[in-house]
Structure 1
Amino acid sequence: MPLPPRFADLKREIAESYPDFERRVTDAWAEIVKQLEETSEAIKREGSDYIPQVQFDELHNLPEETVQRIRRVGSVVIGDVVDDADAIAWKKSLDEFVSANPGVQGFPGNNKQFFQLYWTKPQVQARSHSNVLATTVWLNNIYHVKGNEDLEGVDLSVPLSYADRFRIRHPGGDWSSFPPHIDSGSIERWDDPDFRSCFADILQGNWRLHDPYELGSRLKAKRTTYKRSDESTLFRTFQGWLSMSETGPTQGTLKVFPDVGLSNAYIILRPFFRPLVDVKSPEIYDPKNWSFDISTSDFPGIYEGGGGYTGPKPNIYTHPHLRLDETMTSLPKVNPGDMVFWHCDVVHSVEREHTGLEDSAVMYIPAVPLTPQNERYVERQKEAFLEGRSPPDFGGGGRENGFVGVGGVGDISTPAGRRAMGFAPDEEVQTPHSQKSKLLAGKKSVSRISHAFRELFK
């Protein structure tokens, strides 16, 4: 269904904001389509090997060529972040937690495997693990600022903790609820001026100059103008998960389109072009069969509903040149304790089938730097943690404090983990997950302890 008429006005507004817009983006469109054809062939040829794989203990000595490949692909597997035995033990503990608390919320209802849980002991321990935090610091520092731009209150070397869920996916079944999509913003990518400025080079026709890792515009971008539920309101440099099992292609793992800059360029310009032939025609790939058009309110892959807009959710018909049926690439095999990260703009999905013999189990742990917005969220998240409520981005009303074996402040395994959760080193807290829990010490800003993090992660 087309979006409301005002989005046609938005297209015209964007077109009028950039000099010689039609000519520039039409030329860029033809170049992007050609590059997608070449890149798609390379992706199909290399398969899972296209995705960079490095070891945790190599992070600070990686060749520049490897770092640049990670930047281009936008996804990476980082091996041995946590000891295998620890990751396996966390999975066992989570299995026991679910068995002991049959009332936990999860999906699918008749065979729960994706759990709406945030404060189990393994999750609290994993998020505060020193290697996990050090890994996210390394990823945060892939981002940069332009020139001498001073971003007050921002420190990429201070990691914050974002509570998310976990899955223990069983063999078999059909997961169709996670097709190709991009998180962290929907129509806001065009509708919000600050978010749109992240893609200014693309909209000026200079798509090859687009830098997905430029920080300034990202911090001001509004990703949740329409208040969608289960939408991240803080800035994650990379989304990620920690594996608690062996898993690989065809075993229910993650799939990505492994070129973040190129997919950004295509997806951002796609609303300004319409096909002149049937989308199922083999001629659809020829840029001559596309025409510049800003007369409609259509933003392909963006859908209205749920109190706002969802997407981008590209598919083979709305975004044919991505060739998603061939280029969505499964992660290579990972082991317990390995972590996987993907840039916040990466098109990703989950394999529909799990043909393996064992569970595919992961905890979702993204990379989150210190920013004023993120710090404010962590303060709210901390209060939810102390009261045993689900985090603010996930409704904030669900209760876990009645479950057997729920985690608490004592399960935060490192001083760095306490700081990442918003607790000052000398802050005393009453027994967590109590309706009467309150802070006994005065609140201290996370930003005041940035020096300690830099020392910790040297």
Structure 2
Amino acid sequence: MPSRFADLKREIRDSIPSFEVKVTDAWTRLLAQLKESTAEIAREDSSIIPQVKFSDLEKLSESEIQNIKRRGSLVIKDVVDDADAAAWKTVLGEFAKANPDVKGVPADDPQFFMLYWTKPQVEARAHPNVLAASAWLNKLYHLKDGAEVEGVDLETPLTYADRYRIRRPGIAWDVHPPHVDGGTIERWEDPNFRACFADILNGRFEKHDPYDLQGRLDSRSSLYGRPNQASIFRTFQGWLAMSETAPGEGTLKVFPDVLLSNAYLILRPFFRPKANVSQDDLLSPESWQFDVDDSGFPGIFPRDGGFAGPRPTPELHPHLQLDKTMISVPKVYPGDMVFWHCDVIHSVEQEHKGKGDSAVMYIPAVPSTPQNLGYVQRQKEAFLQGLPPPDFPKTGPEGQFIGSGKEDHIVGPAGRKAMGFMV
């Protein structure tokens, strides 16, 4: 990392009175709580991920909602009719066959497709149940003291166009190791983004609220314009299942404790292991010391003119116990949706040991905010021109492909509004 990032650490230190004392004490408390949390996660495995029926979203108890918020991830069952979701998969498979120039990963046998505007994707994003689920998730967020901000509407979801995958069994998958999206070095470098983690940086990580909108609305999560770096605020990332997919069949994995993982990732750059610490002693708080002289931000690295990450690893982030705590989400069926908080560490299983395709469309939850509305207008223009959305690589005009989605495939006023078309 460039040497200027050591200056950034010292800038943060100097902006908070008694910073070293506060965060050193917090670090000790945090490691103790992580020890308990990681043991619970490893013990509970996939059962720790909340599962709810779409029809029951408005009936959940306060304790159930608080559990969802703490885990930062959930499966919503039966959002879309099984047959409709499976039919979308069939059409997407036919689309790829009809358009052999479609780009994807791996390049010689695409299974993760660089496509955004196929008819099924356009239809799925506008589906009333998909939008209703997104709105429910958006409303888990709030402003402190019930404050209101002009132009913010958590009841009105927006559309963020992303891609889809149809992953076949037996293919090793190493392109999505544990990581966090929605901002890399920006979490520390951008003052508004850093404000989201103010309680953590003030040594009060127990008071950190991952669902507080303060700072989120004006955060700049893409300071360097790196392709594939989201510039909008997604409350939750998510996907819609188009096939049955169980643990071990190429599904999503998450670290299901968004509070403690946030605290650890934000504080980790200010600590380093002491010299000559043995592997057996590495997890002890006494084996770590405060350090703002090193420019490194563990898990953040230069890429494509900007920076990528955070990508936590067992070596750089040992207290997360990632080899035991990256938990596969429970089995899903066509029409189910999986969502994870924008700060949640997640990955994709390296192996797909199942017998059928693991197929999903990526559809996040996006609230209506001034910054997000601006992006949606630019995205709408890209859609009308058949071009990739603004945040993604310029792979060429998609509108020339046979079977691309059109404006009249956006059915219903809520779907049109979500895509930036006035109702």
Would the TM-score normalized by the shorter structure come out above 0.5? yes
Aligned equivalents of 1:9 and 1:277: distance in 2? 23
Q: Which amino acid aligns with 2:282?
A: I
1:279 shift after superposition = 7.2
1:111 shift after superposition = 1.2
- Counterpart of 1:102 in structure 2 is 100
1:218 shift after superposition = 0.5
CA RMSD of aligned residues (A): 1.1
- Counterpart of 1:283 in structure 2 is 281
Contact 1:107 1:115 in 2 (8 A): yes
Between 275-284 and 30-39, the greater mean CA deviation after superposition: 275-284
Aligned equivalents of 1:339 and 1:297: distance in 2? 40
1:413 shift after superposition = 2.2
Sort the Cα spacing of 1:354 and 1:397 in 2 relative to 1 into closer, same or farther, 3 A. closer
Contact 2:195 2:214 in 1 (8 A): no
Q: Which amino acid aligns with 1:140?
A: N
Q: Which amino acid aligns with 1:129?
A: H
Aligned equivalents of 2:218 and 2:384: distance in 1? 29
- Counterpart of 1:150 in structure 2 is 148
Contact 1:229 1:393 in 2 (8 A): yes
Query: Does 1:421 find its partner at 2:414?
Result: no
- Counterpart of 1:308 in structure 2 is 306
Q: Which amino acid aligns with 1:187?
A: I
Describe how 1:85-164 pairs up with structure 2 within 5 A.
Answer: 85-164=83-162
1:193 shift after superposition = 0.9
- Counterpart of 1:386 in structure 2 is 384
1:395 shift after superposition = 3.0
Between 116-125 and 17-26, the greater mean CA deviation after superposition: 17-26
Sort the Cα spacing of 1:279 and 1:198 in 2 relative to 1 into closer, same or farther, 3 A. farther
Query: Does 1:201 find its partner at 2:223?
Result: no
Aligned equivalents of 1:165 and 1:265: distance in 2? 30
Describe how 1:4-23 pairs up with structure 2 within 5 A.
Answer: 4-23=2-21
Aligned equivalents of 1:148 and 1:183: distance in 2? 28
Instruction: Report % sequence identity.
Output: 60
- Counterpart of 2:48 in structure 1 is 50
- Counterpart of 1:165 in structure 2 is 163
Contact 2:410 2:416 in 1 (8 A): yes
Aligned equivalents of 1:76 and 1:203: distance in 2? 28
Q: Secondary structure at the match of 1:392?
A: coil
1:298 shift after superposition = 1.2
1:396 shift after superposition = 4.6
Describe how 1:331-370 pairs up with structure 2 within 5 A.
Answer: 331-370=329-368
Return the match for 1:215 from 204, 213, 216: 213
Return the match for 1:176 from 174, 177, 197: 174
Q: Which amino acid aligns with 1:171?
A: P
Return the match for 2:322 from 299, 321, 324: 324
Aligned equivalents of 1:230 and 1:66: distance in 2? 34
- Counterpart of 1:67 in structure 2 is 65
Q: Secondary structure at the match of 1:180?
A: coil
Contact 2:218 2:371 in 1 (8 A): no
Sort the Cα spacing of 1:206 and 1:98 in 2 relative to 1 into closer, same or farther, 3 A. same
Sort the Cα spacing of 1:278 and 1:60 in 2 relative to 1 into closer, same or farther, 3 A. farther
Q: Secondary structure at the match of 1:223?
A: coil
Q: Secondary structure at the match of 1:216?
A: coil
Aligned equivalents of 1:337 and 1:278: distance in 2? 52
Aligned equivalents of 1:8 and 1:402: distance in 2? 48
Any idea what the Cα deviations from partners look like across 1:129-180, whole Å, max 9, x if unmatched?
0000000000000000011433111100011111100000000111111110
Q: Secondary structure at the match of 2:215?
A: helix
Aligned equivalents of 1:216 and 1:148: distance in 2? 11
Contact 1:255 1:329 in 2 (8 A): yes
Q: Which has the higher contact order (CA 8 A, sep 6+)?
A: 2
Between 146-155 and 24-33, the greater mean CA deviation after superposition: 146-155
1:216 shift after superposition = 2.2
Aligned equivalents of 1:404 and 1:296: distance in 2? 53
Any idea what the Cα deviations from partners look like across 1:116-136, whole Å, max 9, x if unmatched?
001111000000000000000
Q: Which amino acid aligns with 1:134?
A: A
Contact 1:277 1:283 in 2 (8 A): no
Contact 2:382 2:390 in 1 (8 A): yes
Return the match for 1:227 from 219, 225, 228: 225
Sort the Cα spacing of 1:280 and 1:117 in 2 relative to 1 into closer, same or farther, 3 A. farther
Q: Which amino acid aligns with 1:155?
A: D
1:400 shift after superposition = 1.4
Aligned equivalents of 1:9 and 1:403: distance in 2? 49
Q: Secondary structure at the match of 2:297?
A: coil
Any idea what the Cα deviations from partners look like across 1:219-247, whole Å, max 9, x if unmatched?
11110111111111111000000000000
Aligned equivalents of 1:278 and 1:193: distance in 2? 36
- Where do 5+ consecutive residues of structure 1 fail to align? 426-458
Contact 1:279 1:320 in 2 (8 A): no
Sort the Cα spacing of 1:143 and 1:294 in 2 relative to 1 into closer, same or farther, 3 A. same
Q: Which amino acid aligns with 1:382?
A: K
- Counterpart of 1:191 in structure 2 is 189
- Counterpart of 1:374 in structure 2 is 372
Any idea what the Cα deviations from partners look like across 1:228-284, whole Å, max 9, x if unmatched?
111111110000000000001110000000000100001100011110155771210
Sort the Cα spacing of 1:242 and 1:280 in 2 relative to 1 into closer, same or farther, 3 A. farther
Between 400-409 and 353-362, the greater mean CA deviation after superposition: 400-409
Contact 1:169 1:361 in 2 (8 A): yes
Q: Which amino acid aligns with 1:168?
A: I
Contact 1:151 1:216 in 2 (8 A): no
Q: Which amino acid aligns with 1:24?
A: K
Q: Which amino acid aligns with 2:168?
A: H
Task: Output the TM-score relative to the length of structure 2.
Answer: 0.98
Contact 1:384 1:396 in 2 (8 A): no
1:18 shift after superposition = 1.2
- Where do 5+ consecutive residues of structure 2 fail to align? none
1:367 shift after superposition = 0.3
Aligned equivalents of 2:337 and 2:105: distance in 1? 23
Q: Which amino acid aligns with 1:202?
A: I
Between 213-222 and 129-138, the greater mean CA deviation after superposition: 213-222
Sort the Cα spacing of 1:278 and 1:151 in 2 relative to 1 into closer, same or farther, 3 A. farther
- Counterpart of 1:440 in structure 2 is none
1:394 shift after superposition = 1.0
